[in-house]
Amino acid sequence: MSRSPVKLKVVDAHAHLEELEDLEAKLTKAFNLGVVAVVTAGSDLESSVFALEVGRRVERLGVKVYGAVGLHPWSLKELSPGGVEEVLRFVEAKAKEAVAVGEIGLDYWLPEARKEGAGRELQRKVFARQLRAAKDAGKPVVVHSRGAWRDCLDMVKEAGVEALFHWFSGPLDVLKDLLSCGYYVSATPAIDYSEEHINVVKHTPLTKLLVETDSPVKYKGKFNREAEPADVVEVVKMLASMKEVSVEEVAKLTSSNASSLYGIELA
């Protein structure tokens, strides 16, 4: 008598669902493949409001959607000083209602921040304030650290918060330090082709890994299209191959890590 296949329970630990077309259809597809929860991140005021509200709207679909609130460094150039302040006050007011503060951090690859100066100073000021909001609310942070890996780590350590360094592709010396601090990193579909990301994931134990899609980012490699939450199942399969363990083990560990970090219960 053949055994029926084990249904996976996978968590997409980081996505931007407000940017997805046909969201309900894509969430239904993901749920049918074993995605039981998605964390959708805020990057500005509109997406943060969405993140807090969308879970109730899609609850009937089966997949649980949890929201994070935050102001992304990419959003700063679009905002006036007053606009920045408005988002920061929202984050401070709503952090306790979210599962995390994010997506926040630093990006030194942006044109305005390639050299030390006002661009970097603004990013650090905004990041520091959101780290304080997370600390005050007792919430973890989801960190964007492109080109600013060491500075991000130092600021997170100083703030004393739990953290997910999402899609981390930085130097291994920084990875070693952030793992020694107990922080998490996440694997994305980029483990199919990005040498930097592959190297990070290979050097990170499964006990410190989450999986994510960062939907709707467009990936290269075998995906070659915009991501959706269902793709996190393929990330789990690629991780299992890389780590030489079962798909079920990867799904179990990464989902447990997400549950622990975000304080969410998985059915």
What are the structural domain ranges in the chain? 10-262
Please write the tens of the pLDDT for every residue from 4-40: 445 799 999 999 999 999 999 999 999 999 999 999 9
> How far is it, in rounded angstroms, from Cα 54 to Cα 19?
12
Please give the C-alpha separations between residue 122 and each of 32, 42, 79, 83, in angstroms, as whole numbers.
Answer: 43, 19, 12, 13
When pLDDT is cut at 50, 70 and 90, the band that residue 171 belongs to is: very high
Average pLDDT over residues 246-262: 98
Spatial contact of 70 and 97, defined as CB atoms under 8 Å apart:
no
- Rg of the Cα trace of the chain? 18
Per-residue pLDDT reduced to its tens digit, 210-237? 999 999 999 999 989 999 999 999 999 9
How high is the pLDDT of residue 114?
Answer: 86
pLDDT at 182 > cutoff 50: yes
Distance set, CA 31 to CA 10, 37, 193, 238, 251 (Å): 9, 8, 26, 19, 14
Is pLDDT of 56 > 90? yes
Asked whether 21 and 221 are in contact (CB, 8 A), the reply is no
CATH dotted code for 10-262: 3.20.20.140
User: Tell me, what's the pLDDT at 186?
Assistant: 99
* C-alpha distances in Å from residue 198, one per residue of 146, 158, 238, 252: 16, 28, 11, 21
Please determine, for residue 98, whether its predicted confidence score (pLDDT) is greater than 70: yes
Q: Please give the Cα distance from 56 to 156 (Å, whole number).
A: 31
Residue in the structure block whose two tokens are 């996190």: 232
- Provide the pLDDT for residue 1: 38
